[in-house]
Structure 1
């Protein structure tokens, strides 16, 4: 029997490490299924309670005081259970009203196609020949649902956020942050040439992954800062940065050194995407987009493909992030470029200079005061 040494004087057979990982996978899968089953049970119970309240109020004219009495009675009957407060019972009623087809949300296929959803995900939801898709509600928790309902009124957009939350593993707070940051309007909107430079499946995934604009408000005000300052701010808050970039991004390094033809170059940010299976070169510009930025990014992509990328990695992708941009200039700049890249802008807290420029100047204030004095004479 082949044996290997593990730890101090402990002999274990070859293959133990992989076998242990397989066991851990079984445990993790079982825990996930248990959690999902608990969630389904909770949502089903709450929906049924909410539906019953709706029926009594709508069909028999019972008033709102019945919810207050029901809350007292349920808390008395089930003192160890949580979830029967007046507020939560009202949420149950709202939940049942919003989702009459529980346990799914039916959405017109045409409406969902308008949103930046991954085509593979859409294909999973589609029923051949039908005009509606069915989005399972149990993908997210009760606390996600009661936060989502008042925030997003449109059913198709709500279905979109349910799907995105489940796929990205967002907590309730992260989901709300993404909604407030306009995730649905930014996702998949970066100017790019992916369709011309990547295979169809890779192109669709890449187009979906990148956003425009990116919200870097977590780094605060960046007046008078250059690219290096912004890089430092982003990497000092790496958790927030990766959250804004999206699930699947892994941070490799900033000012990543490469040597080409005896000269040294430094890539602003080098990342790796686990779903795309490729390196992502991120170039930051603290100014408006200029066409010549594309040439430098193109050079870095080629260098990473040649010097860093391994044979099993997919082609490197570039992402150019600018303070502002003209979409038309960006589109023209990508024509004829054979390396895959996207161009987007980023937002931070409002620059002091921008705010100051919107305020009346001292001379204007003095002139207005002079005018008032003359009027009062």
Structure 2
């Protein structure tokens, strides 16, 4: 009987996998159809004398002819998106079968080719849903990584052309933790934040970066008669090292950095295997003074990262303004 149950389980898994592949195949064919329609519109448009005006007239004409019969998928806005889709991705064999039409529509909103290249690669690599891609675009993941990296490195890591050699290549600063659900002005302790992170672990791993897996919470370490408890321990398969996270709901101090450094040293000397890389420590804090971080740690060190967390998403304009300021300071070497 147990053997028969195993067969049923396997068959259900095969059916589910086949259904998923069928859905992806159909969606990719739909995407290719929209691309081909966009190409046809573009070729027709090139024959117009005044291309800008003719393009507007043409998409309106196509929508009026097709929408009554085929539905809202061929509204004027949708037809214009098909035209834009071809113009943005003029080579059909560069389209990813793993990306849905809904995801491509999100990518069309981006102005930069490098941005689109980054988000396409990250979506395929991490198997992001439409909602996950939308959140990463809205919270400016690409720009946050650029704050502490060069553009070529960010793109190379995203496209698997280069393995990350530094934690800052995959860890964002700031991190946005709006999914934890804390209300504005609410009072909470570090324990509350830690509990919320565990409750929303999947979302936190997505925000934390690529290649992370959860290891332990409140990990007890014993050092010559004294017990200490590490808030969160992760492992990163890309960096091939342990990653320790300490949470501070107050402003970062040099004592906090010293405590985290002790935990990192312990893991390097006791837990780390010979083939693994040096442990990374992340101090996730509500507020930080970058000068305190610089002067509290040895010059050139790469094991300790101070990342500020934000529990609420600012408006897109505020977010971009803040990131542009950070990017400008980074480029100026401040």
Q: TM-score, normalised by structure 2?
A: 0.72
User: What's the CA shift string for 1:172-205, capped at 9, x where partnerless?
Assistant: 11011111112122226469xxxxxxxxx77635
Distance change (3 Å), C-alpha of 1:179 and 1:301: same
CA contact (8 A) 2:164 2:170 kept: no
1:215 aligns with 2:176: yes
Corresponding position of 1:47: 35
The answer on whether the counterparts of 2:164 and 2:238 sit within 8 Å (CA) in structure 1 is no
Q: Could you say what the CA RMSD is over the residues aligned between the two structures, in angstroms? A: 3.5
Following TM superposition, by how much is the alpha carbon of 1:138 offset from its aligned partner in structure 2, in angstroms? 4.8
| Distance (whole Å) between structure 2 residues aligned to residue 147 and residue 277 of structure 1 | 33
**1:140 offset after TM fit, Å?**
2.3
Structure 2 residue 52 is matched with structure 1 residue 94:
no
Q: Which runs of 5+ in 1 are unaligned?
A: 1-6, 9-19, 77-81, 105-135, 192-200, 351-377
Match of residue 134, structure 2, among 176, 185, 199: 176
Matches of 1:292 and 1:264, distance apart in 2: 18
Q: Secondary structure at the match of 1:204?
A: coil
The reply to whether residue 204 of structure 1 matches residue 204 of structure 2 is no
The count of aligned residue pairs is: 284
Gap regions ≥5 residues in structure 2: 4-9, 49-53, 150-161, 314-334
Distance (whole Å) between structure 2 residues aligned to residue 339 and residue 190 of structure 1:
12
1:243 offset after TM fit, Å?
1.9
For residues 321-375 of structure 1, the C-alpha deviation after alignment (integer angstroms, 9 at most, x for no partner) is 111112232222222586712111111138xxxxxxxxxxxxxxxxxxxxxxxxx
Provide the C-alpha distance between the structure 2 equivalents of 1:65 and 1:337, rounded to a whole number of angstroms.
62
- The yes-or-no answer on 1:185 pairing with 2:143 is yes
Partner of 1:333: 296
2:63·2:74 contact (CA, 8 Å) conserved in 1?
no
The DSSP-based 3-state class of the residue aligned with 1:59 is: coil
Query: Which has the larger Rg?
Result: 1
Cα deviation digits, residues 234-271 of structure 1 (max 9, x gap): 11222222221123211122211111101110001111
Q: CA deviation at 1:146?
A: 1.0
Tell me the TM-score normalised to structure 1 length: 0.64
1:267 and 1:312 map into 2 onto residues whose CA distance is 23
Find the aligned partners of 2:270 and 2:39 in 1 and give their Cα distance.
62
